[in-house]
Chains A and B, each alone.
Chain A
């Protein structure tokens, strides 16, 4: 076997070559002492605060900016950050006073104007900011961002700078919990440099948060370093964070297990079985402000007919949520018991008894309700979902399976995949849905209002199923006008009960955020938006 010996020799030569480079290739991950390396995906949008609505850009903004309020990483409660106080007497006119002594990392003072200019920029149609609608409650929004045609004003008439540290805000309607929305990144202040030399700012953003941008190589890495002069109480407890781009969460996880990366904030589904063995207690799985539901096309007469609420409730009761979350999602999701999220906590309006029996698995009752409501329209329906992201196929098939078993009908429910997310959204916008469709909602701010109004208020921005209820709308209006926070939450829950009684959308499960980290670092937590709280991480 001379050939075999030669083959062996060749294998060894390759191995030696690999070993030699292996020695040279190390050291890419750990970095200088005290710096955390973390997985990242390149944000699809430019890193403007009012233009970032996804988690990758959110990570950077969370380190780079502090706004008037900040959501407590543990409780989700909106606490004053730059705001000294926000006063109102009528829940509509607010006077905002900013704390003294805050500056941007380039030395510029943070003033009332820094906020007002930033908000005006974010709201204006010509700037194409994705979060523009956040400013929709401020008076004058319809002038700078009309639904049709050209803007007729340059600035929001509801914003007035009174002096260096005070400005007033006038809203279009009463909205008592409005100050609590101000922790969202879109409301961050911006330095003059942002407006004066926009391209330079985008290439190396400057903010007022605990970190500064040391270098930014678009598409590969962003190095954030601790800002020593940061005036706030939540100073960075590490030397910096290197955000590294990976092709997908699998390669990032591989890098973590190989010791080349300190933190991944998205453990791939395929690794969930191994994650306990690989990481032990360095794996986290905590509730995130995301709920998955099934929406219905109320523009379709068949789903709008009388008695259909019984059918929808029946379908809800036909879904074995526990089994699906246990097996398909490996307990990274929790069966939904209301239409909000556990991150709100009880005080914030989360109530895991609100859905009650309508969210319990009861096949016999389900079958009875569907029959009583007149049966499934057309005898069969399809659940529409997009097939390109998030492995939706598995759970849609499981949900259909569960419904078919409960109804004793093999053909009651089937999945209807749409190739791409873009096409899926298109079909929804054009009201092409003929049956239930997947709807995921990630909160913008931890308020019960954010889980209800945008989704179920008549003609609201994300009311994709075009559900409408006068009673619901009335209760939401009342809740927004209520100045006492606890009473407002109760009103919102009353409105949520209308959603329940009509079964406007079937709640499926709450999604968790997951993260894994190396033994180099400790004190890792995820905030309610499932973004790691970077400034609290300690490097051992």
Chain B
């Protein structure tokens, strides 16, 4: 187990370097000059652009810039923004806590409501309530998040006045509930469907009949025997989903004024802030890798037949 984890962690290093290189090269390849764009519609003289590029090391060839970046990164320096001169680490430490909070809310919502609906529907497969819940999930899947976002904002904030339509800059937990629901509802539908199918299938399994025949209480039959076996596909999905949630959501964050990772990346892309984009994307990659590692480890917990050495 320990060796397995160590091996997986070591494998992250090439992935990490590869992804930073890729993103770095892509930012470099984008047309346009970020330093020139700073001045907007106004004039700027070439001497000043040259001077700024020199100060920022942007006049060097790609490989040299990348080596500089990696060198700084290993000393814990994410670089600075071209326009504001603000350390990228600052931007990351501002945006990530907000996104983490939002992602955890959305994730909790997905897990609790999604799995409940799934079990509820799966236990009585092909009945009216199962069909009804399937239709509900279908609706959730087919509504784009911005429609759902504006709809909920309209009803809960403007018609009923229960919540503020926007998240303030502090992003207090209460304010994040509505965006979290919007963000979580798509995955909720998937989780519900996955759980439902899995539960419905496993209900017919031999071990279930055995458990019932042994005279175990229904709570234990469903809670332990059925759930443990049915959750493997759901956990796989949830693992990658958590990674996606932590990667930020540009649209939902935009609707509710959440100044999280999605917004930060979007802004950085718009202004061609290479170092910022690479820094944040790299972190997202790491989050993905860790999330998938955790999922793999969870398999062993759920299914004792799986062993890691």
> Which residues of chain A have a CB within 8 Å of any CB of chain B?
1-4, 6-7, 10, 14-15, 17-22, 24-26, 28-29, 42-46, 53-54, 125-126, 128, 130, 132-133, 145-148, 217-221, 244-248, 250-252, 254-255, 257-258, 260, 388, 419-426, 429, 440-442, 444, 454, 461-462
Contacts and interface: CB of A to CB of B under 8 A. Distances in A.
B168 interface: yes
Contacts of B34: 422
Interface string B137-164: 0000000000000000100111011111
Interface residues of B, number: 68
Nearest to B85: A46
Contacts of B40: 53-54, 421
B48 A247 contact: no
B162 A24 contact: no
A22 B166 CA distance: 11
13 contacts: A17-B177, A22-B161, A43-B84, A125-B47, A145-B47, A218-B90, A250-B254, A258-B157, A258-B166, A260-B166, A421-B40, A429-B36, A461-B43
B15 to A, nearest CB: 29
B163 A461 contact: no
B91 interface: yes
Given A45-B83, A454-B43, A18 B177 contact: yes
A241 to B, nearest CB: 15
Contacts of A128: 48, 51-52, 55
B173 interface: yes
Given A14-B181, A17-B177, A128-B52, A425 B37 contact: yes
B32 A426 contact: yes
Contact of B169 (A20, A220, A426): A220
B178 interface: yes
Contact of A260 (B44, B51, B83, B164): B164
Contacts of B178: 18
A126 B48 CA distance: 8
Nearest to A28: B168
B72 to A, nearest CB: 19
B113 interface: yes
Contacts of B133: 3, 7
Listed residue (B30, B168, B172) with the most chain A CB atoms within 10 angstroms of its CB: B168
A236 B39 CA distance: 31
Contact of B91 (A53, A219, A419): A219
Given A15-B160, A22-B156, A423-B31, 14 more contacts: A19-B163, A21-B174, A22-B163, A25-B174, A125-B47, A128-B51, A244-B168, A251-B166, A251-B254, A252-B257, A255-B166, A258-B166, A423-B32, A425-B36
A148 B47 contact: yes
Contacts of A218: 84, 86, 90
Nearest to A13: B113
B165 A254 contact: yes
Contact of B36 (A126, A258, A426): A426
Given A45-B84, A145-B47, A146-B47, A3 B169 contact: no
A421 B37 contact: yes
Contacts of B164: 22, 25-26, 28, 255, 258, 260
B18 to A, nearest CB: 26
Contacts of A44: 38, 83-84, 271
A294 to B, nearest CB: 15
Contacts of A441: 41
Interface in B197-243: none
Contact of A420 (B30, B129, B169, B172): B30
B136 interface: yes
A130 B113 contact: no
Nearest to B43: A461
A45 B38 contact: yes
Contacts of B156: 15, 18, 22
Contacts of A221: 169
Interface string B167-208: 011101111011001000000000000000000000000000
Contacts of B160: 15, 19
A28 B36 contact: no
A251 to B, nearest CB: 4
Contacts of B38: 44-45, 130
A422 B165 CA distance: 33
A158 B187 CA distance: 67
B192 to A, nearest CB: 12
A2 B130 CA distance: 11
A45 B256 CA distance: 26
Contacts of B255: 250-251
Contacts of A26: 164
A422 B37 contact: yes
A459 B160 CA distance: 60
Interface in B116-146: 120, 128-130, 132-133, 136
B272 A420 contact: yes
B274 to A, nearest CB: 12
Contacts of B85: 46
B113 A245 contact: no
A454 B41 CA distance: 12
